[in-house]
A = this chain, B = another copy of it.
Amino acid sequence: MIEDLDASMRIRGIDGIVGYGESTLADPDLTYVVGGTLARGGFYFKKCGNRPLLVVSNLDYGSAKRLGKVKSVQTLTQWRYEMIQKKHPEGYDAAARLVATILRHEGVRGKVVLFGRNDLAKALRFVHSLNRLGVQTVGERSPTLVETARDTKQADELQHLREVAARTGRVVEYVAQSLRNAKEKRGHLQLRHQRATIGLVKSIIASKLAGEGLLAPEGTIFAIGPSGADPHNAGIPTAEIKKGKLIVFDIFPQAESGYWSDLTRTFLLGRADSKARKMYEAVENAQADALDYLRAGVTGESSMHRACDVIEGAGFPTVRRIYSGRATNIASGFIHSLGHGVGLTIGESPYLSFNGRPALKAGEVVTVEPGVYLPGYGGVRIEDTVLIKSKGIESLTHVEKELELT
């Protein structure tokens, strides 16, 4: 949580942090500290132990105040930025002078961490100017100060995450309902009087996403049959929906709040064969076990081992073979990790994987998404986004899990 910043800064010996960017778009750290979206970005300052200061363009002053995350908002004009620019028109020199002046004013004298997604070619010039002005910048390992703060979510963030999860759920339910209404005509399934192709379903998904005010900048996976066996195959637009074929529907949209949700359902039209049913059962059991097991204090690593136990117990290989050195590659079975953090990005710490060493903390939000894949046949993955609590989890996803859409 953002309140953890001071403690982390003290531990790391950091006197001040400065975040900046020309926009908050696609910049999770800057979005986080300012509390939302600012069209023209801005400069965020915080001295260890003090309250932060946000300096933005005149045009974004009202928006920054409305976001309310930073109480002290000032404008670039108040710091005479236009005058500084006139005097120092070269590249990032003006910005460096502005930042050095404000840091001095805020009493920052020690090490300074910079953050925010910026083009390195220009940023390195800015840093060089800052250093010449006496600002002592230092780099950070991952997880950085802001990443660490972002890890556990506060009430307002959870509200955003619940909201985007609910909207995402409505998209999935709407698509499932549309598929249930598909009609067979001359040997082809039809949706909305057209042949039921993946492309058509994707356009239905896109419209419904738009209607829910969601964006899916990284796409949506809707893959049928053998394509579903490759977790990175987003689906072949010309492929037709056919009865009895497994469909992996993995959707990961972002709301205007900046928060994401991640949800996968696997289903098929008509009747499942015994192979599909066996895969589905293994994945369903692994997920149920994980949802039951996860809570603050357990590690991502141990949850991953348990998921492998369940899936291996059902007769499928798992990625543990690689981890334990018994294989160098694995193409079938459970071939990825159990989950990852979700927040202002769609993939962040903590990781429910063999690398997930630290104990999970209350307030973390993660996906739980075991899967089983059979090349040439298809895949099954079931994924919910859940909140880690001290005594268990609370699922943010509320969508039925059923293999056969009837």
Interface residues of A (CB under 8 A from B): 25-26, 29, 39, 59, 90-92, 113-128, 137-142, 144-146, 203, 206-207, 209-211, 213, 215, 217-219, 232, 256
Contact = CB atoms under 8 A, between A and B. Distances in A.
A201 to B, nearest CB: 13
Copies in the complex: 2
A121 B120 CA distance: 11
Given A117-B118, A119-B29, A120-B116, A126 B139 contact: yes
A128 to B, nearest CB: 5
Nearest to A125: B139
Most buried by B among A125, A139, A209, A211: A139
Contacts of A125: 139-141
Given A209-B210, A210-B206, A119 B126 contact: no
Q: Lowest 3 CB-CB distances: which A-B pairs, in order?
A: A125-B139, A26-B26, A124-B139
Contacts of A127: 120, 124, 139
A335 B124 CA distance: 34
23 contacts: A25-B217, A26-B217, A59-B232, A91-B141, A92-B139, A113-B121, A114-B121, A116-B119, A116-B120, A117-B117, A117-B119, A117-B120, A118-B118, A118-B120, A120-B123, A120-B127, A121-B139, A121-B144, A124-B127, A127-B139, A203-B210, A217-B217, A219-B256
Contact of A206 (B128, B139, B141, B211): B211
Nearest to A219: B256
A124 B141 contact: no
B211 A207 contact: yes
Contact of A25 (B122, B138, B218): B218
Contact of A115 (B113, B120, B141): B120
A123 B121 contact: no
Given A203-B211, A210-B209, A215-B215, A146 B121 contact: yes
A124 B256 CA distance: 30
Given A117-B118, A118-B120, A217 B218 contact: no
Nearest to A23: B218
Contact of A139 (B122, B210, B213, B256): B122
Given A215-B215, A218-B25, A232-B59, A119 B139 contact: no
Contacts of A113: 121
A29 B123 CA distance: 14
Contacts of A29: 119, 121
Contacts of A138: 124
Given A59-B232, A117-B117, A122-B139, 17 more contacts: A25-B218, A29-B121, A39-B232, A91-B139, A91-B141, A92-B141, A115-B119, A115-B121, A116-B119, A118-B120, A120-B123, A121-B139, A126-B139, A207-B210, A207-B211, A217-B217, A219-B256
